[in-house]
Every structure is written in structure tokens, then in C-alpha cells.
Amino acid sequence: MNTVITNRRRLRRSFVLGAAVAALSTAFLATAATAQARVTLHLAAQPLGKALETLARQSGTDILFTPAAVAGMTAPALNGTMAPQAAVERLIAGTPLTVRREANGALLVSGAVVSAAPQTVATDASQGDTADIVVTGYASSLTTALAQKRKATNVIDVVKAEDIGKFPAQNIAEALQRVPGVSIVRDRGEGVFVRIRGLGANFQVVTLNDRSVAVNENVRDSGQSGRQFRFDTLPSELMSAVEVIKSPRASLDEGGIGGTINLRTFRPLDLKKPVLSLSATASSPRLADTVDPRLSGMASWASPDGKIGALIAAVYDERTTRQDRITGVGWADGKIDTDGNGSLDSETILIPTAIRPTLEQEKRDRIGLNGAVQWKPDDRFELNVDGLWSRLNVAYDELTYSAADGAGLPRGIVPGSAVIENGVLTGATTTASTTQIGRETSVLQYKNWLVGTNARWQADGWTIAADGSIGQAYSNTPEPIYRTRLLGTVGATIFDFGKAGDRLPNVTLLNADLSNPALLPGRRIEYRVNDSKDRERAAKLDITRDLTGVFSALHAGAKYQKRTRAYDRRDINFTSGITGKYFDASYFVPFPVDDFLDGAKGDLPTTWAIPDPAKFLAAATGKEALLAAPLARGDLRNSYAIGEEILAGYGMADFAFPIGGIAVRGDLGVRYARTRQTSSGYADDGKVALPVSYEKTYDNVLPSLNLVAEFTPKLQMRFAASKVITRPSLADLAPRLTINSSPTVLTAVGGNPELKPFEAWQYDGTVEWYFAPGSALVGGVFYKDITTFVFQQTRDFVLDGQTYRLTAPKNGGDAYVAGIEIAYQQLFKMLPAPFDGLGAQANYTHTATGGTYALATGGTFRDALVDVAKDSLNLTAFYEKNRVGARVSYSWRGNVLRDVGGAGLAANNDSAFGSLDFDMSYKVTPNVTFVVQGMNVAGGVQWQYVRDNQFAGYTDYGRTFTAGVRAKF
């Protein structure tokens, strides 16, 4: 078996490497005949004006520009052999400048006006393809982002705000889902987590202005996020750009096999002049039937000489959500009694065990603040101090009941009523079903702050940069979670399951009315308080030496990072005065909506008795004594603390050289990281929870190579290879034990402090054709070979005389992720007016995966990775002309496996899902713009399925429309 796996790896590596080599060879042959006259250049990083003068001397080409156009701009180091115009394009990449060749052969460098007012396109028949094309607004943000991607040595994608407060989505995650290879995880209809190239959010590193950030934890339920950054905690208005880095440089923080997501905030000197920006919008989520405000403002000041600046920004928004769901759908393999004689006479089939129609309502309010001060007395020194603070409150109310309960199965079916289709019990009449009605209420709070300062000094080819930061993410329940439960039998029930995507299950209670307050007796009130504090402290020093020759720069640096995570949880069940007692109508409130699950096919109860949590809590007795009691064994087992200290250092060289007329550039480096980890918690010996602590130290050496070959000024290729790691989830490292609260489902989840980090070798190859200004066609392949895959192992575990199925993480497997990415972007400036305002974006990603999993019966097997969509597609069309702007985007991802081969306890997979959004604006004056936006305007709903597309879940979060005004002065 090991030989087979090794051979598979070799074949996959050979495929990726072979594809990259073949593409390089093809591009070389295609361009060799059309190569232009080139010159060999050796330019150090320096002010742009001096770089252009030096280039003119070395190439013998007239380069025309005005000093004002290049004032304050710095050119990167440039080494290699290339055409003079390509060299100028390299020097001005990422700036608002353009270059065109005049009739006499001179190169004219001029400013591309990027302003609030749309501009016309400058054209001249004599200029051909090199006409000076001026772009604004959204097109400008795409052009600048594309220039940054083109200039980088590594594989990177960028999303930029077209202006202050105008990030191209209200949520950062939702903007990123339009990047090739990126998909998102939604919660209550809002993007929360980001996946890159099929790997979960735990495999990404998220930084803010290149600094490590603390991470909020999930305090809503017992599932924990670990290292996953919650993108809903930060308002998008505070962001100027987001970089998705898919191949690392040695200078980047380690820890992201999937990639690194770097968030950038605005800085005052980057804006170059005083700015006041204001925005006021109102959104209307159609299901929730409310109107929510969103206010933002930014004030930035810069001194006339551009040496000092200050900025402050603030955002306040409210968001009301409603989700109509059917969740908690369970399926299990087993046999049933079809004729009522007490014998299990069927084959082993898939049996439904329960469904939970659920109405979820939330009210969110969020505040975000960002401030920055910059001091740049001259071109040699710069000092930045900036900070960010945000607070998100979430008040939620969840109403649910269970039906088609499997407690009476496999017996308890009316003879002859079972409907078995293709090995699945799709319908039956049960003789005695059990139903639970529940209501869950709480307030969750997420707070984040990060303060940092950095200084940069450069002179005589040396650059020294130092950065220090401290941040915290705090998640807690300022109002405890209360779950009010009623439980009892409801008699005979008919159920009929359909196919996912077709209809909801049909459920009929023959002898009961769920809206009757006297139907069910009380069960208990579940009480939970939960908090998580994550702290990050970091300091780093980077030194760069610019050189001439093949190696254009040498880099070295070191970083110290300390992280602590404290997670505490307490659970109490109030049963006295509740269990077995029936309550009159005064303890219940009316069902809050009259259109639950409207528009979905299926026949099942859509209203039911809703308990009043305050009155039920008042009826519970003995609460005070339980709340005053010491922490129980279960509370201690659920709580833990993790500490990490990371000391890292790196060395890296930038290089550039010609090969047969092809300009080659890139970087080569190695990063070393030593991690000291401490995991503290409690172990249970069956009588008492005892404090335990585990220490672990490990080292990682991580080489990386990024290579760019420029065949023509418009065609280039990349190849990247690196060793990468992802440290295990903090929750997986904890010595914890969480027991399922259900008395009928005896399961538990544990941690493993001995886990090793995930390790992988990864490879990238791309071909990039920049065929017109602001336009490109990019194709790429990628492969990740994960050699220390962590999988979940399930085994029997006895606690207090009960046998639980314990699921805990374990090292030992391997996995791979391979795929292709295709991206297209074009500005149609060549079309006659008014169609020259059109533009388009499109990308497609296909991903293949495989990994090792554990069988519940022992041993392992191989299958595709869970939480990965094989296919994803994003399409955007936009138009900007004069006062009008319009953008329509469609994002789609294919089916997502949640479980393979029975490795987990739930087998509910996500069906394919797409969302259609639009953004329209009208500029009333050069300073004031009206906007209208729509999200999920096609009303897409999310389905879940098992096996042969059997129903396993349904979520409808509806459409949301937004209207408002933006002003900039």
C-alpha cells in the first residue's frame, strides 16, 4: 500500500511539473520569432525618476516624463534582458502611470487619471495597441489589482477597494469568493469563513497589514473553529485591499497550506491629500422584513509637503437575519420490521432518524474603528502607527421541533407502510413517535483589537524595517445561552422523504397538534456560559540589501510570536420544576411569522407552540444552588488553555537574469520556525477531573522558490515550489472531552495534545497573458502533497458506566489537493461609445483531492477530502460610463462532501449552490453617488443530501436589498 501511495504522489508531481515545463516550452517557441530588440539592465531600487533616466541611458531610448508625474514614487530593482517598453512597464507597475510609444520611437510616461469622475478614452490611430487608456472606478481597482499580481514574484490575487468605503462587497469574505480557487462558508446567509483551493479555513493564515491577528472562537455551540478567522467581525469599509497569497515567499509567516490572506487598511499618506468620506445605506432582508442602517465615515489629513498624515475611520451597522431551515436530519444504516411481527426482516438499509424544522432569527450590531498616523520626513525614513477595534453583538432566537423521530425504529412501523427505494427507507407510518420542542436564546459578543507600529529606514542600498504588534480576540456570552426543551410522545406519524432539491419531507402527526401548549411536558432548561480569549503578540525585524547583477537583493529577518488561547465553558441543566410538568398557555407565546418555509414544496407543520424562556426559567427551582456550585467535571473537561511561542528566521534572495532573450526573475529562500506548545486542561479518571499539562517543541525548515519568466511584455509564466505547514487546530490540541447532551445519542469529542503539524510540499504553475490594459487571461495548475494529514478516529470510550463513541484527531495519514484555475478579465475600451464602458471577469476552478480516513471498526481507507467543492465558477459583468455604474456577479460552487465512507457521525453533504448579486450607482455630482445593491437576488436556497440525493437539509436566508448614498470631499 505504501508503494502505491508513493507512486501516486510521484505521478501527480510529474503531471504538475510536466505541465509547467510543457507550457514554458510552448510559450518560448511561440515568442522566439517575435522577440523584440532587448537590452540587459541592472537597476537598483530607487526613486522612479532616476530609474527612468538610468534606463534611458542604458537602452539608448528616449523616455519622456514630467518630474511632477513621478514625484514621490519608488521603482523596484530591475535586472534582466528585456525590451525598453517592457522595462518601463515593470518600473511603473502598481502606479497610476501608463507608457506608450510615440511615432518617433520615444516612450511617453504619463499619468492615468483615476478619479471620482469618469473619463473618456484617449485614442490615436497611430498608437495601435499601446494607446493611453484611462480607467476609473471599479475598472481602476481591477487594473491596479492586476498590476500588483503581474509585478509579484509569487502567485497572488488581489481585491482592491475602488475608493474609500467602496469595497466591492459588504462582506470581505463575499468579495473574496470571486477570486479563483476561493470559496466561502456562510452563516445566517453571511460569509464567515474562507477556503482556498479546497482546504478549510483552518488551513489559512490571516494577517492585517502583514501582522498576525488573534482569532475569535465559536461560542454558539460545542463545535469550535480553532484557528479560523471570522470575516464577519471586521467591516469591509475599513479595508483598502485584500491579498490572497497562494505561494509563499520565505519572508511570509508560515502556517498556511491553503494560503495567506492579508487584509490592508487605509493609510493617510497613501491618499496623498485630505479626504472626507461619508456613507449611509439601509438594507432590507426580505425574509426578516426589516430595514437595517449602515453608516460609515473616514477623515484623512496629509500635510501639504506629504511628510505627515493622520486618518480615522468608523463604521456602525445593524443586520437582521432570518433563516428558514430543516436541520438535524439524521440517517443511519440498519434493518427494520416491515410486517409488525417483531423480526427485523429487511435488508440493511438507510433509515431516517429525525428532522428538525427550525426558524432562526438574529439581530446583529457592529462597530468598527480604525486609526493611523504616518510620518515620512524624507525618502529614507517612514514611521507608521495604526490600530483597529471592532465589536459585534449577536442576539439570536432559535425555534425548533423534531419530527419523524427514529427512537421507535427499527420496530414500531405500521405493517405494510414502509416504502423502501434503492436501499433507503423513504416513507412509513410509525406507531409511537417522540417530538421535542425547543427554543434557544442568547447574546453572543465578539471583540477584536490590534495595535501595531513599524518603522522603515533605507539608504545606500540598505533597508531596515521593524514591526511590533499586540492584539486580542474575545468571544463570550454576556447573556447566557438558554435552551428551553419540551419532550413527549405524539402518537402515530406519517413521514415521506423526497429528493434534495425537489421538495421538503412530508410529515403528518395523525393524533397531535404541535400548536397545542398542553401537548408536551417540560424536559429541562439547558444553561451555558462560554468565553474564549485569544491573544497575539509579535515583533519582527527585516533587513534588505539591494545589489546589482544576477541577485538584485538579499533579505534576512527574524520574528517572535506568542499566542495564548483560554477557552472556558460551563453547562447546567435545570430540571426541578420543569421535567414531566405540563404548562398552560400563559407559558407560551404566538409563533412569530406566518410564512415559515413558504415557497418550498412539502407538507409538514409550519407553526408550533413557542415557550416563553423567562417564564419557564422562573418556574425552574433550585437554580441558585446549581449556579453557586463549583464547576462540574464536565465543565472542567470542556475547558482548556493553549500556549504557543514561535521563533522564526529566514534568508531570501531576489534574482533576475536573461535566458536566450527571456527575462527571468524570482526569489529563492528558506524559513526556519521553532514552535513551543503548551496544552493545559483536565483529564477524567472516571471519578474526578484532574488538571494536566503537556509540552511539545518541534522545528520546521521550509524552503521556497518562486520563478517568473517574461517572454514578451504581455506574456509571462510562473513556477513555484515550497514546503509549507499548518499547525493543528487549537481545539484539536486541547486535552478536552465534550459529551453529547442527548441521552439517546452517546457520542463524545476529544482532543490530542500530541498532534504534529500538517506538512506539505506544494507546486504551482501559471501562464499569464496581459493582452490589453487592465485585461488578462491566466491559467494555472496547483498540487499540494500533505504528508502528515490529521484525520478523525472513532473508538469506544467508557465514562460513568456509559459507552460513548469518542471521535478524536490523530496523525498518520496523507492527502493531496490538485487542480486547475482559469481566470479572465477584460476592459472593452476598444468598443465604440457608449459600449466602451463594458467589462467582464470570469474564473473557474476544478479541484481533485484524496486523503486517509479511519474506519469506525478499525483500520483506514482512502477517499476524497471533505469540505471541498470540486468545481467553482464566478462571473461578473460591469459597466461604467459617465455617471452610471452597474455590476452583476454570479458565484457558484458544486457539491461539497461532509462525510465519506461513514468516517464521521453525520453524512449530510452540501448540494451545489449559486448566488446572484448586483450593484448599481448613479453619480449625482462629482462628490455624491446614489447606490442600490442586491444580494442573492435570485433567491437561491441551500440543500443538503445523503447518498442517492436523499434529503438531508434545507436553508433559505432570502434576498437582501440595499440603497443609500456615498459622498467624498
pLDDT over threshold 60, residue 120: no
CA distance 538 to 55: 40
CA distance 880 to 838: 7
Strand 107-111's sheet: what is its strand order? 63-64, 107-111, 97-101
pLDDT of residue 369: 96
The β-bridge partners of 671 are 650, 702
pLDDT over threshold 50, residue 24: no
pLDDT over threshold 50, residue 198: yes
Of 61-65, 547-551, 577-581, 872-876, the least confident: 61-65
pLDDT of residue 404: 66
Using CA atoms, how far residue 116 sits from 278, 321, 523, 929, in Å, is: 14, 34, 62, 10
The β-bridge partners of 881 are 884
CA distance 499 to 189: 23
**pLDDT tens by residue, 133-146:** 445 578 888 888 88
pLDDT over threshold 80, residue 771: yes
Contact 496, 506 (CB under 8 A): yes
pLDDT of residue 14: 42
Most confident of 88-102, 106-120, 179-193, 876-890: 876-890
CA distance 565 to 536: 9
pLDDT of residue 222: 65
Q: How many CB atoms lie within 10 A of CB 730?
A: 27
Of 179-183, 458-462, 481-485, 743-747, the least confident: 743-747
- The band of 131, judged by pLDDT with boundaries at 50, 70 and 90, is very low
pLDDT of residue 19: 41
pLDDT of residue 73: 82
Between residues 687 and 652, which one has the greater pLDDT? 652
Task: Give CA torsion, residues 598, 600, 604, 606, to 10 deg.
Answer: -20
pLDDT above 90 covers what percent of the chain?
Answer: 53
CA distance 428 to 367: 51
pLDDT over threshold 50, residue 774: yes
- If you search the block for the grid coordinates 475608493, which residue do you land on? 163
Using CA atoms, how far residue 127 sits from 38, 90, 99, 124, 835, in Å, is: 21, 20, 11, 5, 21
Task: Give CA torsion, residues 854, 859, 863, 864, to 10 deg.
Answer: 20
Task: Name the maximum alpha-carbon separation found in the chain.
Answer: 99
For residue 141 the three cell numbers come to: 481597482
For residue 560 the three cell numbers come to: 517572535
Local structure of residue 122 (DSSP, 8 states): P
Contact 902, 916 (CB under 8 A): no
pLDDT over threshold 60, residue 127: no
* Average pLDDT, integer, range 544-565: 94
CA distance 212 to 451: 11
Between residues 92 and 805, which one has the greater pLDDT? 92
Find, among 374, 388, 638, the residue nearest to 532 by Cα.
638
Contact 897, 149 (CB under 8 A): no
Of 160-169, 377-386, 619-628, the least confident: 160-169
* Average pLDDT, integer, range 753-765: 91
- If you search the block for the grid coordinates 469599509, which residue do you land on? 237
- The band of 206, judged by pLDDT with boundaries at 50, 70 and 90, is very high
pLDDT of residue 23: 39
* Average pLDDT, integer, range 476-490: 94
CA distance 18 to 15: 5
Contact 388, 238 (CB under 8 A): yes
pLDDT over threshold 70, residue 795: no
Of 62-71, 212-221, 598-607, 804-813, the least confident: 804-813
**pLDDT tens by residue, 379-431:** 899 999 999 999 999 999 999 999 866 555 566 888 989 999 988 899 999 88
pLDDT over threshold 90, residue 224: no
DSSP 433-496: EEEEEEEEEEEEEEEEEEEEEEEEEEETTEEEEEEEEEEEEEEEEEEEEEEEEEEEEEEEEEEE
* Average pLDDT, integer, range 23-29: 37
pLDDT of residue 85: 86
* Average pLDDT, integer, range 887-908: 73
pLDDT over threshold 80, residue 244: yes
**pLDDT tens by residue, 739-757:** 555 554 555 556 778 888 9
pLDDT of residue 45: 79
pLDDT over threshold 90, residue 583: yes
pLDDT over threshold 50, residue 11: no
pLDDT of residue 753: 83
Of 272-286, 346-360, 667-681, 734-748, the least confident: 734-748
* Average pLDDT, integer, range 262-287: 92
pTM: 0.83
pLDDT of residue 665: 93
Helix, strand or coil, per DSSP, at residue 91 = helix
CA distance 743 to 1: 41
**Does residue 703 have a cis peptide bond before it, meaning omega lies within 30 degrees of 0?**
no
* Average pLDDT, integer, range 876-897: 92
Between residues 638 and 701, which one has the greater pLDDT? 701
